[in-house]
Amino acid sequence: MAHTFEELHKMTVAQLRTIADGIEDEILKGHTVMHKEQLLPLLCKALGVEVPHHHTVARNKGELKAKIHALKKDRAAAIEKKDYKKLEEIRDEVHKLKRKLRKAMV
């Protein structure tokens, strides 16, 4: 049975583990104790399913959080100076970074 990434992504961990039970592959060794974010890419690799680029997990969430923290300081300075154009740019950038961070947690 052929699966797509979208189908696999929507499945629960238990469902992914049952699929992995039927596959004899070295990379799936220990799949019964893996979390979904660990199991999904390995299962896709074993099944030969291509993972779309927009579903890659950000490896450095700390970097994103540091950028957000720095932008929040800039935001406070922009509020003091009443620079509303700069404030809007900063808020947009913080919003984009937070969305990236949330996507990384999927």
- Same domain (yes/no): 72, 43: no
Question: What was the pLDDT predicted at 37?
Answer: 86
- Same domain? For 36 and 77 the reply is no
- Tell me what pLDDT residue 54 has: 55
pLDDT recorded at residue 103: 79
Q: Which residue has the higher pLDDT, 103 or 42?
A: 42
Domain of residue 83 covers: 61-104
Number of domains in the chain: 2
Residue 50 shares a structural domain with residue 79: no
Measured CA to CA, the distance from residue 6 to residue 36 in angstroms comes to 14
> Residue 53: its pLDDT value, please?
65
23-80 pLDDT per residue, tens? 888 888 998 999 988 899 899 889 888 877 654 445 578 888 899 999 999 999 999 9
